[in-house]
Amino acid sequence: MTSLTVTMKGQVTLKRELLQHLGIKPGERVEFDKMPDGELRVKAARPAGSIDSFIGRHAGKQKTPLTIEEMNEIAASGWAGG
């Protein structure tokens, strides 16, 4: 088990080996889930969609245009909140 020291600001730094285990690269985000008994679950934040898949539909790569409902679903699925 790895232990980390909490700074005066209440911050911790995850060690490189832990970040590599999670597949997290610089600039990416980490999510924490509060679990019972004071435990945390840590995981890499992965967006559900991508801006490239959205733009691709409008760049002539797809023959059918998106409906308003499809656009709203794509926006809600995560790429806009990244």
40-51 average pLDDT score? 77
Q: How far is CA 18 from the centre of its chain?
A: 17
Indicate the average pLDDT of the chain: 80
- CATH architecture of the domain 1-46 equals Ribbon (2.10)
Q: Is 7 helix (H, G, I), strand (E, B) or coil?
A: coil
Name the band, by pLDDT with cuts 50, 70 and 90, for residue 64. confident
More confident call, 62 vs 63: 63
Contact indicator for 42, 32 with CB cutoff of 8 Å: yes
pLDDT tens for each residue of 1-31: 788 899 999 999 989 999 999 888 888 888 9
Domain extent listing, the chain: 1-46, 51-81
